[in-house]
Amino acid sequence: MKKLLFLCGSLRAASSSRATIRALETSLNGKCAIDHAEIATLPFYNADITDDPNVKRLIDQIAAADGLLFVTPEYNYSVPGLLKNAIDWASRPAYQSVFKGKKCFIISVSGGLLGGVRAQSHLKYILNGMLAQVFVWQEVVITQANAKVKDGVMADEAVIDFATQAAEAFIGSL
């Protein structure tokens, strides 16, 4: 069974990104093994820190995964700093990091009408820069995401059907 690692770009308890991950965990049940990257505990990137256990854990999780599924909001037209920090940690050594050749897919969310499409585009560019392989499919952007969350889970059926189709295609490509 292929291993999928979720990377969530939001720490909020009521996060619509996290709610989307919860819904996908249910819809993908039995179709892949799922792990979650712990990025909240990472220090800010500092090349002088060479032995942080949380950094090691993140790199090990990425290495062990067949595919990475990012679910992230857009912050000020780009990728949240929290997520960029995690990516920066795992991106060294440049062009030879654990991201090299790693298959990735992105789902973006926003409270507004654009669904985080700018963050999604920036994240693709960042992943390309690390020689990761971003899976090509229709873009999954979840607009007005907070209004679609019920009891901590993304509850919009059409949204989750579409995101699940994308995730299944991604898993099939791993």
Ligand X SMILES: Cc1cc2nc3c(=O)[nH]c(=O)nc-3n(C[C@H](O)[C@H](O)[C@H](O)COP(=O)(O)O)c2cc1C
Binding residues for ligand X (CB under 6 A): 10, 12, 15-17, 73-77, 109-112, 114, 116, 145-146
DSSP letter (8 states) at residue 52: -
Question: Which is nearer to ligand X, 119 or 171 (by Cβ)?
Answer: 119
Question: Which is nearer to ligand X, 113 or 158 (by Cβ)?
Answer: 113
Structure-block tokens of residue 75: 């912050």
Question: Which is nearer to ligand X, 97 or 120 (by Cβ)?
Answer: 120
Closest separation between CB of residue 122 and ligand X, Å?
11
Closest separation between CB of residue 116 and ligand X, Å?
6
Report yes or no: 83 and 89 within 8 Å, Cβ to Cβ. Answer: no
Question: Which is nearer to ligand X, 19 or 104 (by Cβ)?
Answer: 19
Closest separation between CB of residue 15 and ligand X, Å?
4
Q: Which residue is nearest to ligand X (CB)?
A: 73
Burial of 141: CB neighbours in 10 Å, binned 0-12, 13-18, 19+: buried
Closest separation between CB of residue 129 and ligand X, Å?
21
The torsion angle over the Cα atoms of residues 47, 48, 53 and 54, rounded to 10 degrees, is -40
